[in-house]
């Protein structure tokens, strides 16, 4: 219990971003000893900050080889009080420190390690100066390369954050996961046990793979008590998913021609009649079981591209090549970033202006539900066999692909007696049609 006499400390406003950055490095490195890793991480972080401060103050210098050699030689001679042509190790350290070369401490230690001390423990600066010049410039080059690489990785990570995690941005992921977490927390304790957490991730229906769920579960149990708290989970969820997807997004089974074969195999396993045909529900269930990491909208978008006969069945072997291209595009980070940028461009750089068939979300949903209300007297449910005829006869000019996408959602809203909850389906339909229209405009 905190004492009323204790000193109060203010948490720096930069602390959350520092903690998030450290968490990302832990996720990427998976250190065996997090305490040693943390000590080294923050030591180097401070060294980088000090170097940056020196650079801003004009202290750190990047000299040419000739300038550097002249500087070191002059300083070494000045430090060589007895004119022996050599420096002690402490004198040598002082020279490097005074030279203010803009090197982090660990890089300076590497230069010291290259020094060839004689039997008296001294360093001959006539022999070492040329080597030191080459070492310093090599370190400059490596530091520049590491900085550029870090900037590229940071940019890629920021793009991933902005444009995707299973097709969603950070706000969408955190909103969905936060809502599902609270629904799963029946007793309102703010904590979920392992089974509840796994169910929470499954209910979120954003395409989390089993591996992602396991990583989230283990990494979010910060205090190791076997439960996951809301405060531990939601702030870190998106950061963790970005790292997982950045490093392991495309597995071998998801590449090129292998994906075609993979889809054919999983659909063939679902084909209990060995007919070569599957209904949309069977194809969807097989895709979910394949654990590819597609969210619900993406699943229905894939299935909307199929060609279905009068019985609503698809030749899955013939469909697999086309489906694999769509799935691959959905799983590829670069493709998703390009997709998001293209959509942003179509919207004039502003979000929230999405429309389908000239209608915003509320108008579209209301118009579609009215069609079913008129046909059923507002019953809230409709026979699955009536879906397609009603959609075909309505005033909204659905394309064949959009019809397929909407029909594929029927299983998600099925109720007893072969009926479909059309209210729930209509609320979801906007996102299905929007995704299909966006893809059609881009690809």
Instruction: List pLDDT tens digits, range 308-348.
Output: 988 889 999 999 999 988 888 777 666 666 666 666 665 54
CATH architecture of 65-147: Orthogonal Bundle (1.10)
pLDDT at 4: 40
**How far is it, in rounded angstroms, from Cα 320 to Cα 299?**
14
More confident call, 161 vs 426: 426
User: How many CA atoms within 13 Å lie on the side-chain side of 70?
Assistant: 5
- The two tokens of residue 246 are 């950045």
CATH number of 170-248: 1.10.238.10
Nearest Cα neighbor of 228 from 258, 251, 195, 261 is: 195
User: Tens of pLDDT along 132-157?
Assistant: 777 777 777 767 766 765 666 666 55
Q: Would you kindly state where each structural domain of the chain is located, as residue ranges?
A: 15-56, 65-147, 170-248, 252-331, 361-442
More confident call, 258 vs 9: 258
Nearest Cα neighbor of 172 from 137, 143, 142, 207 is: 207
Which conformational region is residue 328 in: left (phi greater than 0), alpha (psi within -120 to 50 degrees), or beta? Answer: alpha
CB 188 within 8 A of CB 274: no
Fold exhibited by the domain 361-442: Recoverin; domain 1 (1.10.238)
pLDDT at 409: 85
**Helix, strand, coil share (%) of the chain residues, nearest 5:** 65, 5, 25
DSSP E strands: which ranges in 43-92? 86-88
What are the C-alpha distances in Å from 112 to residues 5, 31, 51, 148, 388? 49, 28, 19, 26, 78
pLDDT at 13: 58
**How far is it, in rounded angstroms, from Cα 236 to Cα 16?**
11
Q: Do domains 170-248 and 361-442 have the same CATH topology?
A: yes
User: Tens of pLDDT along 374-397?
Assistant: 999 999 999 988 988 998 888 899
Longest dimension (CA), the chain: 105
Position 14 pLDDT exceeds 80: no
pTM of the model: 0.48
CATH architecture of 252-331: Orthogonal Bundle (1.10)
């Amino acid at each position: 219990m905190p004492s009323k006499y204790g000193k109060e400390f203010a948490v720096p406003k930069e602390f959350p971003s520092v903690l998030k950055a450290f968490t990302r490095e832990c996720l990427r490195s998976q250190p065996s000893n997090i305490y040693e890793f943390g000590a080294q991480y923050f030591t180097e972080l401070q060294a980088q900050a000090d170097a940056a401060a020196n650079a801003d103050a004009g202290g750190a210098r990047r000299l040419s080889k000739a300038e550097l050699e002249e500087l070191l030689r002059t300083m070494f001679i000045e430090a060589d009080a007895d004119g022996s042509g050599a420096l002690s190790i402490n004198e040598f350290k002082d020279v490097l420190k005074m030279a203010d070369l803009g090197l982090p401490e660990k890089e300076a230690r590497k230069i010291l390690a290259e020094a060839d001390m004689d039997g008296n423990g001294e360093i001959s600066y006539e022999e070492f100066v040329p080597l030191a010049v080459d070492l310093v410039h090599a370190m400059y080059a490596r530091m520049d390369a590491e900085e550029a690489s870090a900037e590229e990785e940071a940019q890629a990570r920021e793009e991933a954050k902005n444009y995707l995690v299973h097709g969603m941005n950070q706000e969408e992921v955190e909103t969905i996961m936060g809502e599902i977490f609270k629904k799963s927390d029946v007793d309102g304790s703010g904590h979920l046990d392992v089974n509840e957490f796994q169910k929470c991730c499954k209910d979120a229906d954003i395409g989390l793979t089993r591996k992602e769920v396991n990583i989230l579960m283990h990494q979010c149990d910060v205090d190791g008590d076997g439960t996951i708290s809301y405060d531990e989970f939601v702030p870190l969820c998106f950061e963790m998913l970005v790292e997982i997807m950045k490093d392991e997004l495309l597995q071998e089974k998801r590449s090129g021609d292998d994906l075609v074969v993979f889809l054919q195999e999983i659909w063939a396993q679902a084909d209990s009649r060995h007919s070569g045909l599957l209904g949309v529900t069977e194809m969807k269930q097989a895709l979910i079981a394949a654990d590819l990491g597609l969210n619900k909208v993406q699943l229905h978008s894939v299935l909307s591209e199929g060609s279905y006969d009068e019985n609503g069945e698809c030749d899955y072997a013939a469909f697999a090549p086309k489906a694999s291209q769509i799935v691959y595009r959905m799983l590829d980070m670069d493709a998703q970033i390009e997709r998001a940028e293209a959509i942003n461009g179509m919207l004039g750089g502003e979000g929230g202006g999405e429309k389908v068939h000239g209608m915003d979300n509320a108008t579209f949903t209301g118009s579609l539900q009215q069609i079913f209300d008129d046909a059923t007297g507002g019953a809230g449910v409709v026979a699955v066999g009536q879906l397609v005829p009603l959609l075909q006869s309505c005033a909204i000019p659905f394309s064949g692909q959009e019809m397929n996408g909407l029909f594929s959602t029927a299983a998600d809203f099925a109720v007893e007696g072969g009926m479909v909850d059309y209210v729930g389906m209509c609320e979801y339909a906007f996102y299905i049609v929007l995704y299909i229209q966006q893809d059609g405009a881009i690809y």
